[in-house]
Amino acid sequence: MHKYLIPILLLITLTGCTAVQSGSELVISKDAEEASVFKSVDSSDGGSDIVSDETVSLEPEEIVVYVCGAVINPGVYELSSNSRAGDAVTCAGGFSEDADINYVNLAAPISDGSKLFIPTVEEVKENCGYAGEASFGDSVQGNGLININTASVEELKTLPGVGDVTANKIVEYRQKNGNFKSIEDIMKVSGIKDKLFSKIKEKITTS
């Protein structure tokens, strides 16, 4: 009969969120949790003791999101993978005084590598002719994809490589020709070629 004596030492470092200023971006990060396990086995058959040092990494799933626009501290933030738009805004210090706090669906899920733009009240008024009745919550799906058939100019600008000119062209094309039937149809818009499409195809949807 073997007896096993297993003393386990767990060293877990839990660090709260810390903000680091890097250039013009504010970066918030959380240290990964680490556990070191030491195990000693005493064998009664006369064999020598075996001591193993196992390091187990307990890394929480995290996403990186760029929060910009009408927030107190625009920047890049690390959040847990189940975070919502409201969590990202909170990390960025909350809304600024001129923010349109009702424009963004704060309950909308956010995905890794996404850009969350908070417009001002004035910006929403200026773009209402292009945005129609779509809101952030309507145009950003539960999987984080941008609906190119309902997205406003500001929402389209959250896509990589899409600026004011291209975003306006997308909306103008949609108003003139109707909804896109497939994501590939967006390449019918002047200025959107294979290179740009390859950057945004994983981030857009038509439904």
The predicted structure's pLDDT at residue 143: 55
In a domain, 189, yes or no: yes
User: Is the Cβ–Cβ distance between 203 and 146 less than 8 Å?
Assistant: yes
Q: Which residues of the chain have pLDDT under 50?
A: 1-44, 48, 51-52, 54-57, 59, 129-138, 142
Cα atoms found within 13 Å of the Cα of residue 21, Cβ hemisphere only: 3
Q: How many domains does the chain have?
A: 1
In a domain, 99, yes or no: no
In a domain, 177, yes or no: yes
The predicted structure's pLDDT at residue 60: 53
Domain that residue 204 falls in? 127-207
Bridge partners of 66?
76, 115
In a domain, 113, yes or no: no
Bridge partners of 140?
146
Look at residues 126, 136, 133, 74 and name the one whose alpha carbon lies nearest to residue 104: 136
In a domain, 145, yes or no: yes
In a domain, 76, yes or no: no
CA distance 157 to 184: 18
In a domain, 185, yes or no: yes
CATH of residue 141's domain is 1.10.150.320
- The answer to pTM > 0.75 is no
Cα atoms found within 13 Å of the Cα of residue 106, Cβ hemisphere only: 11
Q: Which residue has the tokens 């690390």?
A: 78
